[in-house]
Amino acid sequence: MKNQVQLITYVDRLGGGDLRALHTLLRDGSLKGLFGGVHLLPFFHPIDGADAGFDPIDHLSVDHRLGDWDDVKALTQTVDVMGDVIVNHMSSQSPQFLDYQARGDASPYAGLFLRMDTVFPHGAREKDLLGIYRPRPGLPFTPYPVADRRELLWTTFTPQQLDIDVTHPQGKAYLSSILQRFADAGIRMVRLDAVGYALKKAGSSCFMEPDTFDFIAAFAAEARALGIEVLVEIHSYYQRQIEIAAQVDWVYDFALPPLVLHALFNGTAEPLKRWIGIRPANSLTVLDTHDGIGIIDIGADASDRAGKPGLVPPAELDALVERIHANSQGQSRQATGAAASNLDLYQVNCTFYDALGRDDEAYLLGRAIQFFLPGVPQVYYVGLLAGENDMDLLARSRVGRDINRHHYTPAEIASASLRSVVQRLFELIRLRNTHPAFNGRFEVLPSGAHQLHLRWSTESGDEIVLEADLAARTMALRGSGLTGA
């Protein structure tokens, strides 16, 4: 992956609605030259299922409303392209599951879907079930009619998302077919979506167990043989994230968004500095994604009875959440948790710009911190345009995360691109992409508790320094090649 800023976007929500329009925007339009790569959020058939494309009916087919595989391949000639391999599940409307429902054990897909009794052949005790980690209330099972009987099938996320038995030959063949299809289209990086839940074992939490790492290693080796890098998406206690990062190609720095907010809300850099000292360098740095702002990522280890502390104390974490709600005029509260029938209780749904109360200087300071940390920066399409909460979409869908999933028309992109905050963000992106010091050595310079000074330098004399004052919400850039430096 190029050491340049990456874009993450839905194909149909940025500038025209299909792959060709997005390609034109990146190649010839207002986003020309801004990004070294683009992560296309699920573009498979269909993009508008129960979970915005994360419940594919056909993972090997591009939704016809977006284009086809030739359009994907054409885009790879302009920027590097990342795609999602939805490892854990597929749609209950998939032809494989419908065939299994109709024919039962006679179906060629009989081993593809994970049954409860596959993991618990002798039945499950109460403590077995209560020990299963799930990012939703309730148990991860749904009864389905299958041929002449009913079966209890694993559904970790929603009843419409049937978990795959990734250890079964049929599960392995299914996932391998996705990798091959991606490689043929020129995709050179994949994100393993929901991979932390892929391996289930009786007597365990069924989340990020030792066997999960073995599965990731084997899948990553298969991907590398096809010339594909692997990004693992895990929301978890920060120490676990560090452990995961040591065993994979790339991880997300999901602790960064809430820590940046904490620093700006409280005028202190101390928790952020502590995280910078231990965070994995093989990270994609983010401030926003298609999901919410993670809370679990900096909180205490909820799965540990000994009570391992988080990166910030519980009271400060609670205050951070309340500050987001206040800054967004209560809009994020309407989109978070049961208030919007959204069961992601470990995230706050809000655009990052609104989480900061639409403060341009604070927003750009947050982006500068993101761009200066080791790793590769990724910018979400709504954040790229300093987007505001989409309350109309939330009202229509009642899906909390839709508050941060606006559909931008070409006219809206053109208008947003004229805003000062967006133009200055574009300048920061270009600086991050082109300054040679970012390919050198990183260090945190001594500074006061409310300051954060980050330096990149090379042996040949290239240097760039970010001097941030979290209390004043100001920053200065100095170094070689900078105007006025």
Query: Which of these, 427, 435, 426, 483, lies nearest to 463 by C-alpha position?
Result: 435
Cβ-contact 400, 350 below 8 angstroms:
no
CA 383, CA 379: separation in Å to the nearest integer? 7
Choosing from 193, 249, 253, 469, which is the catalytic residue? 193
Q: Is 193 a catalytic residue?
A: yes
Residues forming a β-bridge with 151 = 144
Q: Is 84 a catalytic residue?
A: no
Pairing of β 293-294 and β 347-348 = antiparallel
| DSSP characters over 5-65 | -EEEE-GGGBSSSSHHHHHHHHHTSTTTTS-SEEEE---EEPSSSTTTTSS-SEEEEE-TT
Query: Which of these, 484, 447, 477, 449, lies nearest to 463 by C-alpha position?
Result: 477
235 labelled as ligand-binding? no
CA 360, CA 367: separation in Å to the nearest integer? 11
CA 44, CA 94: separation in Å to the nearest integer? 12
345 labelled as ligand-binding? yes
The DSSP 8-state label assigned to residue 90 in this structure reads E
Choosing from 80, 233, 253, 354, which is the catalytic residue? 233
As a whole number of Å, the end-to-end CA separation of the chain is 30
The structure tokens listed for 427 are 């300048």
222 labelled as ligand-binding? no
105 labelled as ligand-binding? no
To which residue do tokens 């429902």 refer? 101
459 labelled as ligand-binding? no
CA 109, CA 202: separation in Å to the nearest integer? 23
Phi, psi (deg, nearest 5) at residue 71: -70, -35
CA 190, CA 229: separation in Å to the nearest integer? 6
191 labelled as ligand-binding? yes
51 labelled as ligand-binding? yes
To which residue do tokens 């929301």 refer? 235
Binding site feature residues for substrate: 51, 89, 191-193, 233, 290-291, 344-347, 401
Residues serving a catalytic function are 193, 233
Binding site feature residues: 51, 89, 191-193, 233, 290-291, 344-347, 401
